A and B are shown apart, each in its own frame.
Chain A
Amino acid sequence: MASLFHFQDLWQARDLLLFGLGITVLLTLGVIPISLAFGICLGFCRHEATWLRPFATLYIELLRSIPLILFLVFIHYGLLPLLVAHPSFYLSAFLTFILFESAYFAEIIRGGLRSIHQIERDAAISLGLRPWQQRLYIYLPLACRRSLPALMGQCVSLLKDTSLASIVGVIELTRAGEIIYERTFHDFEVLLTLAIVYFLLCYSLSRISQHFEQAAPALQKLKFLQS
């Protein structure tokens, strides 16, 4: 029995690990669309000279200069108990990631919007599109396509950041591993496995993003741009 590594404990606790993996993936996949939508709105607000601009700027700059972990405990222990009697930690983690990532997504989208040339702007106007049509059909696809690598990079870092949710009690992948090695004391094996799992997840995400980047010119062939 004197083997160097003890992976059999890990195998016995595979249900817990799979549960954690599921929560991590669900958290990531759930947060991305909502925070992306919110981030696009914020990005447009900060890009255009409206009365909303100072508020969007304040929101983005504030959230971008606070560490995620501080924001997480602030939401879970400080803010949410004021609004809800007994906030679930899933709710607070979900809310935190949405608010936090939307600030980053907004900044990335704004970078894409800034790269839109005056010629493209003029073309959109001369097509006779209404302002909201220009935004929806011209500026948004252009900005998204140009900032696609940065957006996918942010998604990868979101996936890694979900490990912080363990501090408020969410049993995701990192916390599941922690529970196992606190029980068995085989921390090296567990952490090595976690590192490999996180690497596989992030690597597959970045491979998907490369696939998207190569497929991006196909976006030009969308119906509304042809007609």
Chain B
Amino acid sequence: MTDIFRAGFLAIPRQQLDAGLSLGLSRFQTFRLVLLPQALPLILPPLGNQLINLAKNSSLLAFITVEELFHVIYTGAVEAFRPMEYFLVGAALYITVSLGISGLVILFERLYRQGCYTDTLSRWELRHG
């Protein structure tokens, strides 16, 4: 995740930071108002990928007997002796989770493109100066 954020912020030219500072913004304000809005569209897609990976890798917790989805499915399949049915349902559930995450990422990207993030920022700035 650190690498994703690093790549996103490295893609913004240094002059943007200088420009923000020269406008009299503090470092935090520059980060929030100038750098973050530009880095966000670069960060979102790989971040979504990473989240999906995390959701899938949570199945490995079954090895140390954490009661997560894969563990429940596996023990269920073993107890009922019906591997095909249990694993197909499990696969469908995992696919739903992945599709949900990628749908969320697409939704966020669309909201961002419609200017929701920058709108909120400017409204917040107007209210709190």
Known A65-B52, A77-B87: A70·B59 in contact at CB below 8 Å: yes
B95 & A62 in contact (Cβ 8 Å cutoff): yes
A78 & B84 in contact (Cβ 8 Å cutoff): yes
Which residues of the other chain, A, contact B59 by a CB distance below 8 angstroms? 67, 69-70
Chain A, range 127-155, C-beta contacts under 8 Å to B: none
Could you give 20 example pairs across A and B, Cβ below 8 Å?
Answer: A62-B95, A65-B52, A65-B56, A65-B95, A65-B99, A66-B95, A67-B60, A68-B56, A69-B59, A69-B60, A70-B59, A70-B90, A70-B91, A71-B91, A73-B74, A73-B77, A73-B83, A74-B83, A74-B87, A77-B83
B83 & A67 in contact (Cβ 8 Å cutoff): no
CB-based nearest A residue for B86 = A78
**8 Å CB contact of A67 from B63, B70, B84, B99:** B70
CB-based nearest A residue for B52 = A65
Q: Mark B70-113, 1 if CB is under 8 A from A, else 0.
A: 10011001000001100110110011011100000000000000
Q: Mark A56-70, 1 if CB is under 8 A from B, else 0.
A: 000000101111111
In angstroms, Cα B36 to Cα A180, docked, is 51
CB-based nearest A residue for B59 = A67
In angstroms, Cα B56 to Cα A70, docked, is 9
Which residues of the other chain, B, contact A68 by a CB distance below 8 angstroms? 56
- Chain A residues touching B, majority SS: helix
In angstroms, Cα B70 to Cα A74, docked, is 11
Binding site for B on A (CB under 8 A): 62, 64-71, 73-74, 77-79, 82, 164, 167
Which residues of the other chain, A, contact B87 by a CB distance below 8 angstroms? 70, 73-74, 77-78
Q: How far is the CB of B48 from chain A (nearest CB, A)?
A: 12
Which residues of the other chain, B, contact A66 by a CB distance below 8 angstroms? 56, 91, 94-95
Size category of the B interface is 20 to 34
In angstroms, Cα B91 to Cα A65, docked, is 8
B62 & A69 in contact (Cβ 8 Å cutoff): yes
Which residues of the other chain, B, contact A69 by a CB distance below 8 angstroms? 59-60, 62, 70
- Chain B residues touching A, majority SS: helix
Binding site for A on B (CB under 8 A): 52, 56-57, 59-60, 62-63, 70, 73-74, 77, 83-84, 87-88, 90-91, 94-95, 97-99
CB-based nearest B residue for A69 = B59
Across the A-B interface, the 4 shortest Cβ-Cβ residue pairs: A65-B98, A77-B83, A67-B59, A74-B87
Known A77-B77, A78-B87: A70·B60 in contact at CB below 8 Å: no
CB-based nearest B residue for A71 = B91
**8 Å CB contact of B57 from A67, A74, A167:** A67
Which residues of the other chain, B, contact A64 by a CB distance below 8 angstroms? 98
Which residues of the other chain, B, contact A82 by a CB distance below 8 angstroms? 84
Q: How far is the CB of B66 from chain A (nearest CB, A)?
A: 13
In angstroms, Cα B90 to Cα A64, docked, is 14
Which residues of the other chain, B, contact A167 by a CB distance below 8 angstroms? 63
Which residues of the other chain, B, contact A62 by a CB distance below 8 angstroms? 91, 95
In angstroms, Cα B59 to Cα A71, docked, is 11
Q: How far is the CB of B70 from chain A (nearest CB, A)?
A: 6
Which residues of the other chain, A, contact B98 by a CB distance below 8 angstroms? 64-65
Q: How far is the CB of A227 from chain B (nearest CB, A)?
A: 40
In angstroms, Cα B93 to Cα A191, docked, is 33
